[in-house]
Amino acid sequence: MSAAVFCTATVLIFVWIARFVHKWRNPKCNGLLPPGSMGWPLLGETLQFFSPTSTFDINPFVKDRMKRYGPIFRTSLVGQPLIVSADSDLNYFIFQQEGQLFESWYPKTFTEIFGKQNVGSLHGFMYKYLKNMVLTLFGPEGLKKMLPDVEQASNTYLKRWSTQNYVELKDATSSLIFDLTAKKLISYDPIKSSESLRKHFAAFIEGLISFPLNIPGTAYHKCLEGRKKAMKVLKDMLQERRTNPGRQQSDFFDYVLQELGKEDTVLTEAIALDLMFVLLFASYETTSIALTLAIKLLLEHPLALKELTEEHEEIIRERENPDSSLTWREFKSMTFTFQVINETVRLANIAPGIFRKAREDINFKGYTIPAGWAIMACPPVVHLDPARYEDPLEYNPWRWKGLDMNGATRSFMAFGGGMRFCIGADFAKLQMAVFLHCFVTKYMCKAISGGDILRTPGLQFPNGFNAQISKKDESVGVQI
């Protein structure tokens, strides 16, 4: 009898598993789903998505499936059914329909990492409210005030690096940009602080793009621990400001406290802290990657470095006082510099995917995107499309000559698009342009070791990028 019961139970379990697998691989749809594979139940194709590659080319996961299924296909990542769009028309449509047919969405693991009420996961009025808050710092007037501080910080750090045998450029630029942004946001001084906020962010970044297994010892666990410690520092600072209201720092934290103190405020402490965390993260990681890659590519392409240097030396020659500080007019005149920046972020593809979710069933080019399904737009496919960019894997800043380099287009979405176009895009460009001005006019750089890139799928420098920074001999002229 027991054997019969066991056999029956085994058959039932087998049938249940078979039905579950069949249902997983053949999801319901009121129309025609894009082709593709859902991978293994729950796990999906997550492991393939995170497979590393060492080129600027499109992620092999996306590239292989484009060949097999076309530019619009389905998959599953970390248990989430997903439509992947390598179609520029669909990507553009998604950004234009933000808040109507599509809404911002990120995987559950993302909200665990960045906070459930981070600015990227909020919608409607709350998102617009936070965006307007951030624009008080990163809008045109805020950036004009920030220009002298960015120049001073760049000169200070470059001078320090020039006294060392070599520097690891990714870590060095991260330190520069993080300290500058943290000062503007929360008046953070790494020298006076008893705890290294940047160290916690470093631990956070290390496991950010990793398999979401929260077990001690894993990169993902270290990531969550780094966030927890960084959030504690921010919360303690917020509490200290509240207990010492007379000590105004004239930074973004003070502005946040004013908003929290209003009777009719919609801002909560949790949302405010998550906002601070996201802004510091963006400054720590994304801009420093772009700046490190810009230096690497300029060293590898002497003609680009020569033209960039000439542009900035011309700025100095046109001044009445060569030692005067950068002006806003000079910053806006850096035409070739912005070509260098655009070409760098085009190749960097720091955001390998931009996530949205369908609010209702959506028909596009004969396919149906079911309501509730996530969709990932892939900027790298657009940025590396040979129909849009000749020799797309080649570094060519001159390709941007005469083109509009502001905002997003069907061919360029390094900073997103639509109403969620990156709030800090202009701040990132300001930091890069001002740093490059200080760098090429006063210093020369020699690569020592490292500099290899790795995508997992985000861009990394696995063995660092060690370089020697030295003061220019002005009597010799431009040096490479």
pLDDT at 479: 43
Q: Is residue 144 part of a domain?
A: yes
Helices 269-284 and 197-206 pack at an angle, to 10 degrees, of 80
Computed from CA positions of residues 148, 153, 158, 160, in that sequence, does the dihedral angle turn out positive or negative? positive
Q: Is residue 79 part of a domain?
A: yes
Q: Is residue 10 part of a domain?
A: no
Helix (H, G, I), strand (E, B) or coil at 285: coil
Domains held by the chain: number: 1
Reply yes or no on whether the pLDDT at 50 is more than 90: no
pLDDT band at 264 (very low <50, low <70, confident <90, very high): confident
Question: Which phi and psi angles does 302 have, rounded to 5°?
Answer: -55, -35
Q: Which of 90-94, 216-220, 403-407 has the lowest mean pLDDT?
A: 403-407
Domain interval for residue 265: 69-471
Whether 414 contacts 346, CB under 8 Å: yes
Reply yes or no on whether the pLDDT at 200 is more than 80: no
Reply yes or no on whether the pLDDT at 211 is more than 70: no
**456: CATH:** 1.10.630.10
Q: Is residue 20 part of a domain?
A: no
Cite the DSSP H helix spans in 74-218. Answer: 88-96, 108-114, 124-138, 140-161, 169-186, 197-206
Reply yes or no on whether the pLDDT at 420 is more than 80: no
Cis previous bond, 81, omega within 30: no
Identify which of 139-148, 198-207, 333-342, 397-406 has the greatest average pLDDT: 333-342
pLDDT at 243: 79
Q: Is residue 435 part of a domain?
A: yes
pLDDT band at 301 (very low <50, low <70, confident <90, very high): very high
User: What value does the mean pLDDT take over residues 141-159?
Assistant: 94
Name beta bridge partners: 358: 102
Q: Is residue 7 part of a domain?
A: no
pLDDT at 182: 86
User: What value does the mean pLDDT take over residues 172-177?
Assistant: 92
Tell which wins on pLDDT, 147 or 194: 147
Question: Which phi and psi angles does 143 have, rounded to 5°?
Answer: -70, -35
Tell which wins on pLDDT, 43 or 81: 81
Please state, in angstroms and rounded to a whole number, the distance separating the CA atoms of residues 283 and 363: 38
Cite the DSSP H helix spans in 26-103. Answer: 46-49, 60-69, 88-96
Q: Which of 1-10, 58-67, 393-402 has the lowest mean pLDDT?
A: 1-10
What is 2-32 written as a DSSP string? HHHHHHHHHHHHHHHHHHHHHHHHS---SS-
Please state, in angstroms and rounded to a whole number, the distance separating the CA atoms of residues 57 and 362: 30
Whether 386 contacts 105, CB under 8 Å: no
Single-letter amino acid code for the residue at 132: N
Q: Is residue 459 part of a domain?
A: yes
pLDDT at 152: 96
User: What value does the mean pLDDT take over residues 59-73?
Assistant: 94
Whether 169 contacts 467, CB under 8 Å: yes
Please state, in angstroms and rounded to a whole number, the distance separating the CA atoms of residues 361 and 370: 5
Reply yes or no on whether the pLDDT at 209 is more than 80: no
Q: Which residues are annotated as a binding site for heme?
A: 422
* Mean pLDDT over each residue of the chain, to the nearest integer: 84
pLDDT band at 12 (very low <50, low <70, confident <90, very high): low
Pairing of strands 80-85, 374-377: parallel
User: What value does the mean pLDDT take over residues 223-243?
Assistant: 83
Reply yes or no on whether the pLDDT at 379 is more than 60: yes
Between the alpha carbon of residue 143 and those of residues 149, 186, 312, the distances in Å are: 10, 17, 20
Reply yes or no on whether the pLDDT at 475 is more than 50: no
Tokens of residue 156, six digits: 């200070």
Please state, in angstroms and rounded to a whole number, the distance separating the CA atoms of residues 86 and 325: 44
Between the alpha carbon of residue 401 and those of residues 329, 362, 395, the distances in Å are: 20, 38, 14
Q: Which residues are annotated as a binding site?
A: 422
pLDDT band at 328 (very low <50, low <70, confident <90, very high): very high
pLDDT at 390: 94
Q: Give per-residue pLDDT as tens, 448-466.
A: 999 999 988 888 899 999 9
Reply yes or no on whether the pLDDT at 283 is more than 80: no
